[in-house]
Amino acid sequence: MTEFLESVLRGLGNGAIYALLALGFVIIYKSSGAISFAQPALMMTGAVISSYIAPALGAALVGAVAFFVSVTAAALVTALVAMAIERLAIRPMIGRAAFTIAIITIGIDIAVRVITSGFIGLGARPVPNPWGLERTEILGLRIQERHLVALGILALVVLLLVLFFRYTRHGLAMRATAFDQEAAMTQGISVGAVFSMSWAIAGALAAVAGTLLATSAGVDRQIWIVALVALPAIILGGLDSLAGAVIGGLAVGVVESLVGSYQGQWAPWLGNNFQVVAPYVLMFVVLLVRPYGLFGTPEVRRV
Amino acid sequence: MKLIKFGVALVAVSLVAAGCRGGGDDGGSEAVDAPGVSDEPCPTPVNDGNGCIYLGSISDLTQGPFAALGVPIVDAQKAFWQRVNDDGGIGGYDIDVSTYVKDNLYNPQTHQQVYGEISGDVLALAQTLGSPTTLAILPDMESDEMIGAPASWTSLWAFEDVILESGANYCVEGMNSVDYAVENMDVGSVMAVGFPGDYGGDGAAGAEIASDGHGLEFSSVETEPGQENQGGAISSIVREKPDLVLLGVGPTETAVIVGQAASQGYQGRFIGLSPTWNPALLETPSAPALEAMYMQSGPWGPWPTETDGHAAMREAVGQVDQPNDGYTAGWVWSYPLKAALEEWLEGDYDKTRAGLLEAVQALETVDYEGVLPEDAGNFADDQPVFTQTLLSSVDPKAPTGVVVEEDFFEGETAAGYDFTGACFEG
């Protein structure tokens, strides 16, 4: 039982990173109706920025403070990068089909990744942090400290997003735009500014996720692939649901971890790497029962 | 009569003019008639009067998983051939490896496409990176009679005439690693953890052959690339507790597997095939576990090794941000191609690609300037597999983070094994 619970905790730690990424996907989808495939590149960019800032701060600040300052700075810089991308490449496409915008984001993703890779160099760039692979014991269960940090950051981010969407003018504007763009425009809301804000938030979340991911083995040129795991998370959670993104991300992390821990023992006939496809199997099962995901809004069209 | 005299004079002048053209004046008497060979100087000529031989490179330069290796390999090969040019070139030709450098994205389709783009413009391939990618162009290389230096160590290359491999392959590394562990680590069980395909598969096949020979318990786990995909492999290691784990993965996966397995209580040993290591791993949280539990297998000595070849490489490559054995590999893989070009241009061969291939098959030794024994470059023998490898241990003070623990050795498994085909036939 201990092994099972420890596996669940590991899954929740990784799932927190998927959830942060999934939140970014959902925020852009809600505002613009398009999925942004540039999230992997923004995640990589944020992690690379952290890998430069954290060591520079390390000499002046103690470990944890340097880490959190570098995460914050990376989130801000990546948000600016995301805003610039939105303004230059996405805004002119407003009014085009969501599919067209999605394809453009694939191109952006590749271009940004190629540029960012140039800053990584030949090996992996470490992101110094005080936790490393250290483990701590809670109620007799051993869990990596970096997983606890990831879960704590996810909780903080969710709280900040709730406060932002509920109590700030920009948050309300984003909710109104997500509900009905034309109605929002008639109320004087700048839809362009909302798009920009959504990209900024998604970029910042991707940077935080990338930095957390890099605490294990650093940032390498392939780290972006992890962001793709967030796709089944947002589909099973519901494309337009922030709660669904969080639950979906955590669920994917837990399923991945449990399958990785037990499948070789209990179902070896599934092959060696079934944990890689497990999130998609989970997504498929959920969609069979709830076609719009766990928390997605059923689409109703008048015919 | 005047007309006859004029004709004779014209022929004589033509012959003299042909003899004075760049190339072909040092060795073989025949004019060179092969793609990628020009009497015109190279775009950046080094020796006045020399023609130009163009070599192509197809490498992983931007987005693929081995870009961290592909970039230094290309840089080292440019430095290698610049040194050759600085020494006068080969047979009246300078060598150009800069004009036709293509990115394969580590994708077989892309590899095949860019090969088609350059195959008519180059004499040979200074580099074709990756095993699945090179396999995708192998039929074309054979029909084009295009020789190439691989940037991979799969055992299949020993049986392909157009491939000029250097050093021991992954299969031999697997065999020798297990043999070493049996002698020095008292192991009773071995687990091979590797990527699907001929990299992880070839190493695992060698480890299995050696394990069977020693009567060891053997298991094999395939794992996909990516940090987040290592959970299954880590769980298998922690659960089964093999005495030795042979890794056939990338550097990042090595850090995750070794670090996380140690963190979850595994106390055995790891030996990684040559591409598993990168000195940057010593800056990850896995560094203590790597120092305590990991050794790196390799086909030749790392960057700081004291041989003439290594010294020449360090001097030619110059100051680099981070010494990396991608440079070493790119440098070493260039020696057989240089030997083949010398043999071809200076010997009595058709001055065509077919003649160059014939020259390769006449090579019984290659001068690796001490990096490898000369008989490692035997392309004439029917049994050309080179079976000596090295093992290095982690040392954070070393330039590439590893120091040689066991110099060139041949384990009893590899010594007694009859190599009649690729170890891995996936």
Chain A residues with CB under 8 Å of B63 CB are 110, 113-114, 117, 221
Q: Does B278 touch chain A (CB under 8 A)?
A: yes
Which 44-63 residues of chain A touch chain B by CB within 8 A?
none
Say whether both B265 and B411 belong to one domain.
yes
Give the list of residues 6+ apart from residue B425 with CB closer than 8 angstroms, or none: none
**Per-residue burial over B255-293, b = 16 or more CB atoms within 10 Å of its CB, e = otherwise:** bbbbbbbbbbebebbbbbbbbbbbbbbbbbbbbebbeeb
Measure in Å the smallest separation between the Cα of B199 and chain A Cα atoms.
16
CB contact under 8 A, A221 and B65: yes
**pLDDT at residue B402, rounded to an integer:** 93
Residue B424 maps to a domain: no
Residue B7 maps to a domain: no
Mapped onto helix, strand or coil, the DSSP state of residue B218 is: strand
Predicted confidence (pLDDT) at residue B10 exceeds the cutoff of 60: no
Q: Which secondary-structure segment (H or E) carries B102?
A: strand B93-103
Pick from B68, B224, B227: CB nearest A213: B227
Predicted confidence (pLDDT) at residue B26 exceeds the cutoff of 50: no
* Torsion of Cα atoms, A243 then A249 then A250 then A256, to 10°: 160
Distance CA B334, CA B344 (A): 16
Q: How confident is the model at residue B19 (pLDDT cuts 50, 70, 90)?
A: very low
> A182: number of CA atoms within 13 Å, CB side?
1
Nearest CA in chain A to B323: A122
Nearest CA in chain A to B277: A123
**pLDDT at residue A139, rounded to an integer:** 87
Say whether both B402 and B258 belong to one domain.
yes
Say whether both B254 and B393 belong to one domain.
yes
Residues B343-361 have a mean pLDDT of 94
Q: Does A121 touch chain B (CB under 8 A)?
A: yes
Q: Does B184 touch chain A (CB under 8 A)?
A: no
Q: Does B238 touch chain A (CB under 8 A)?
A: no
Beta strands at B37-38 and B51-59: parallel, antiparallel or unpaired: antiparallel
**pLDDT at residue B337, rounded to an integer:** 97
What is the Cα Rg of chain A in Å? 19
CB contact under 8 A, B252 and A218: yes
Distance CA B249, CA B270 (A): 12
Say whether both B189 and B237 belong to one domain.
yes
Say whether both B261 and B121 belong to one domain.
no
Mutation test of the interface with chain A: which of B61, B110, B227, B291, choosing the one with the most A Cβ atoms within 10 A? B227
Percentage above 90 pLDDT, chain B? 71
Nearest CA in chain B to A109: B63
Give every residue of chain A whose pLDDT is below 70, as ranges.
59-62, 122, 300-301, 303
Structural domain count of chain B = 2
In whole angstroms, how far apart are CA A214 and each of A14, A146, B256? 12, 10, 11
Q: Does B392 touch chain A (CB under 8 A)?
A: no
Q: Does A186 touch chain B (CB under 8 A)?
A: no
> A278: number of CA atoms within 13 Å, CB side?
26
Distance CA B34, CA B344 (A): 12
CB contact under 8 A, A133 and B255: no
- Show the tokens assigned to B331: 């440098």
Say whether both B272 and B310 belong to one domain.
no
Residues B179-186 have a mean pLDDT of 94
CA-nearest of B100, B91, B85 to B31 is B91
**pLDDT at residue A124, rounded to an integer:** 80
Residue B262 maps to a domain: yes
**pLDDT at residue B1, rounded to an integer:** 47
Q: Does B322 touch chain A (CB under 8 A)?
A: yes
Distance CA A130, CA A128 (A): 7
**pLDDT at residue B21, rounded to an integer:** 42
Q: Does B62 touch chain A (CB under 8 A)?
A: yes
Predicted confidence (pLDDT) at residue B9 exceeds the cutoff of 90: no
Chain A residues with CB under 8 Å of B262 CB are 133
Distance CA B156, CA B134 (A): 11
Residues B296-307 have a mean pLDDT of 93
Residues B41-61 have a mean pLDDT of 94
- Show the tokens assigned to B332: 């070493």
Distance CA B188, CA B85 (A): 52
Mapped onto helix, strand or coil, the DSSP state of residue B77 is: helix
Chain A residues with CB under 8 Å of B71 CB are 122
**pLDDT at residue A301, rounded to an integer:** 67
Tens of pLDDT, residue by residue over B93-132, are 999 999 999 999 888 999 999 999 999 999 999 999 988 8
Distance CA B288, CA B263 (A): 11
Chain A residues with CB under 8 Å of B226 CB are 222, 225-226
Cβ atoms of B174 and B210 closer than 8 Å = yes
**pLDDT at residue B29, rounded to an integer:** 53
Burial class (CB in 10 A: 0-12, 13-18, 19+), A110: middle
**pLDDT at residue B394, rounded to an integer:** 95
Nearest CA in chain B to A146: B285
Measure in Å the smallest separation between the Cα of B107 and chain A Cα atoms.
14
Say whether both B337 and B367 belong to one domain.
yes
Say whether both B248 and B363 belong to one domain.
no
Say whether both B157 and B35 belong to one domain.
yes
Q: Which secondary-structure segment (H or E) carries B222?
A: strand B217-222
Query: Which value does ipTM take for this structure?
Result: 0.76
What pTM did the predictor assign? 0.82
Cβ atoms of A22 and A264 closer than 8 Å = no
Q: How many interchain CB pairs under 8 A, A with B?
A: 134
Query: Other C-beta atoms within 10 Å of B178: how many?
Result: 30
Tens of pLDDT, residue by residue over B384-418, are 789 999 999 999 999 889 999 999 999 999 999 99
Residue B371 maps to a domain: yes
Give the list of residues 6+ apart from residue A168 with CB closer than 8 angstroms, or none: none
Say whether both B151 and B85 belong to one domain.
yes
Q: Does B292 touch chain A (CB under 8 A)?
A: no
Give the list of residues 6+ apart from residue B270 with CB closer than 8 angstroms, or none: B244, B245, B246, B247, B254, B257, B258, B293, B294, B295
CB contact under 8 A, A122 and B322: yes
Measure in Å the smallest separation between the Cα of A242 and chain B Cα atoms.
23
Q: Does B212 touch chain A (CB under 8 A)?
A: no
Q: Does A268 touch chain B (CB under 8 A)?
A: no
Pick from B68, B234, B281: CB nearest A221: B68
Say whether both B311 and B195 belong to one domain.
no
What's the one-letter identity of residue B3? Answer: L
Measure in Å the smallest separation between the Cα of A126 and chain B Cα atoms.
6
Residues B168-185 have a mean pLDDT of 96
Residue B421 maps to a domain: no
Distance CA B16, CA B21 (A): 9
Q: Does B147 touch chain A (CB under 8 A)?
A: no
Distance CA A225, CA A209 (A): 13
Chain B residues with CB under 8 Å of A19 CB are none
Predicted confidence (pLDDT) at residue B25 exceeds the cutoff of 90: no
Chain B residues with CB under 8 Å of A254 CB are none
Tens of pLDDT, residue by residue over B54-92, are 999 999 887 777 877 888 999 999 999 999 999 999 999
Measure in Å the smallest separation between the Cα of B222 and chain A Cα atoms.
6
Residue B5 maps to a domain: no
**pLDDT at residue B13, rounded to an integer:** 46
Beta strands at B294-298 and B389-394: parallel, antiparallel or unpaired: antiparallel
Residue B10 maps to a domain: no
Pick from B63, B223, B232: CB nearest A114: B63
Say whether both B284 and B346 belong to one domain.
no
CA B407 to chain centre: 19
| Domain membership of residue B202 as a residue range | 170-298+388-416
**pLDDT at residue A17, rounded to an integer:** 96
Q: What is the CATH number of the domain that holds B373?
A: 3.40.50.2300
Measure in Å the smallest separation between the Cα of B392 and chain A Cα atoms.
19
Chain A residues with CB under 8 Å of B232 CB are 259-261, 263-264, 272-275
**pLDDT at residue A280, rounded to an integer:** 93
